[in-house]
Structure 1
Amino acid sequence: MGGTCRSFRPYSLRARTTLGVAGLALIFLTAIGAGVDFLVLNRVQAQIFDEAERVAVNWGGSLQPGSTPQPVPKTGIDLLQLVDSHGRVVTASAAAAGRQALSTARPPADDRIQDRTECSDRGECVMLTAFRVPQLETSELRPVEPRFVYAGMAQPPILAGHRLQYLTAAGVLLGVALAAWVNWWAAGRSLRPVEAIRKHLSDITVSDLSLRVPQPAGCNEHARLVCTVNQTLARLEEAVKLQRRFAATTSHELRTPLTGLRLRLEEAVLYSDVDPRETIREALSITGRLEAIVDDLLVLARLRAGTPAAHEPIDLGALVAQEAAAQAGGVPVHVHIGHDVHVRGNRIQLIRVLNNLLANARRHAGTVVEVTAERVGGQAVVTVTDDGDGIAPQDRERVFERFVRLDDGRRREPGGSGLGLAISRDIVQAHHGTLLVEDSPRGARFALRLPLQREATARADPPRDLRDIGHHLDHLDHAEQS
Structure 2
Amino acid sequence: MMRRLFGSVRARAALGATVVVAVALVAAGLAVLLVLRANLTDQADLQAEVDARDVASQVALGRSYGGLDLPDDRPVQVVDEGGRVVAVSEDLEAIEGAGSPAVRAGSGSGEPVDGDDDDDDDDPGRGEVSGDEPRMSSGSATVDGERADYRFVAVEATAPQGQTVTVYAGAPLATEQDAVGTVREAMLIGLPLLLVVVGGVTWLVTRRALRPVEGIRREMAAITASEDLSRRVPEPDAHDEVARLAVTTNETLAALEASVERQRRFVADASHELRSPIASLRTQLEVGSAHPELLDVEGAVRDTVRLQGLAADLLLLARLDAGERPGQGRVDVGALVREEISQRSDRLPVVVNVRAGAAEVEGSRGQLARVLGNLLDNAQRHARSSVEVTVRRDGAAVVVEVADDGGGVPVDERERIFERFVRLDDARSRDDGGAGLGLAIARDVAERHGGSLTVAEAVRGAGGGAVFALRLPVAGG
TM range (shorter): 0.5 to 0.7
DSSP-derived class of the 2:67 partner: coil
List runs of 5+ in structure 1 lacking aligned partners: 459-482
DSSP-derived class of the 1:450 partner: strand
DSSP-derived class of the 1:22 partner: helix
Q: 1:437 to 1:100 in 2, by over 3 A?
A: closer
CA–CA separation in structure 1 for the residues paired with 2:272 and 2:146: 101
The amino acid that maps onto 1:420 is G
CA deviation after TM superposition for structure 1 residue 353, in Å: 1.7
**Per-residue displacement from partner, 1:173-207 (whole Å, max 9, x unpaired)?**
55655655565455455545544544555554574
**What's the counterpart of residue 471 of structure 1?**
none
**What's the counterpart of residue 385 of structure 1?**
404
Q: Give yes or no for the alignment of 1:245 onto 2:243.
A: no
Correspondent of 1:424 among 427, 430, 442: 442
**What's the counterpart of residue 148 of structure 2?**
125
CA–CA separation in structure 2 for the residues paired with 1:88 and 1:450: 112
Q: 1:53 to 1:451 in 2, by over 3 A?
A: same
TM-score (norm 2): 0.67
CA contact (8 A) 2:354 2:392 kept: no
**Per-residue displacement from partner, 1:196-248 (whole Å, max 9, x unpaired)?**
54455555457443344566668654554444334333322221211111122
Q: Where do residues 286-435 of structure 1 align in structure 2 (5 Å cutoff)?
A: 291-310=308-327, 316-342=333-359, 344=361, 346=363, 347-362=365-380, 368-373=385-390, 380-385=399-404, 400-404=418-422, 406-412=426-432, 418-430=436-448, 431-435=450-454
CA RMSD of aligned residues (A): 5.2
Q: How many residues align?
A: 432
Identify the range of structure 1 (80-89 vs 337-346) with the bigger mean alpha-carbon deviation.
80-89
**Per-residue displacement from partner, 1:401-431 (whole Å, max 9, x unpaired)?**
4345655342448xx6553333123223444
Q: 1:149 to 1:437 in 2, by over 3 A?
A: closer
CA–CA separation in structure 1 for the residues paired with 2:50 and 2:237: 72
DSSP-derived class of the 2:150 partner: strand
Q: 1:386 to 1:170 in 2, by over 3 A?
A: same
CA–CA separation in structure 1 for the residues paired with 2:256 and 2:468: 29
**What's the counterpart of residue 19 of structure 1?**
15
The amino acid that maps onto 1:92 is S
Q: Give yes or no for the alignment of 1:152 onto 2:156.
A: no
CA–CA separation in structure 1 for the residues paired with 2:441 and 2:383: 22
List runs of 5+ in structure 2 lacking aligned partners: 102-108, 111-129
CA–CA separation in structure 2 for the residues paired with 1:30 and 1:9: 27
Q: Where do residues 110-121 of structure 1 align in structure 2 (5 Å cutoff)?
A: 115-118=137-140
CA–CA separation in structure 2 for the residues paired with 1:391 and 1:81: 116
TM-score (norm 1): 0.67
**Per-residue displacement from partner, 1:69-116 (whole Å, max 9, x unpaired)?**
56345xxx63446689898896634xx26x345667339999995633
DSSP-derived class of the 2:64 partner: coil
CA–CA separation in structure 1 for the residues paired with 2:257 and 2:42: 78
**What's the counterpart of residue 68 of structure 1?**
67
CA–CA separation in structure 2 for the residues paired with 1:312 and 1:358: 23
CA–CA separation in structure 1 for the residues paired with 2:51 and 2:28: 34
> Share of identical aligned residues, percent?
32
CA–CA separation in structure 2 for the residues paired with 1:428 and 1:361: 18
CA–CA separation in structure 1 for the residues paired with 2:457 and 2:155: 116
CA–CA separation in structure 2 for the residues paired with 1:48 and 1:215: 65
Q: 1:291 to 1:126 in 2, by over 3 A?
A: same
Q: 1:298 to 1:46 in 2, by over 3 A?
A: same
The amino acid that maps onto 2:443 is R
Q: 1:319 to 1:292 in 2, by over 3 A?
A: closer
CA contact (8 A) 2:454 2:469 kept: yes
CA–CA separation in structure 1 for the residues paired with 2:342 and 2:157: 126
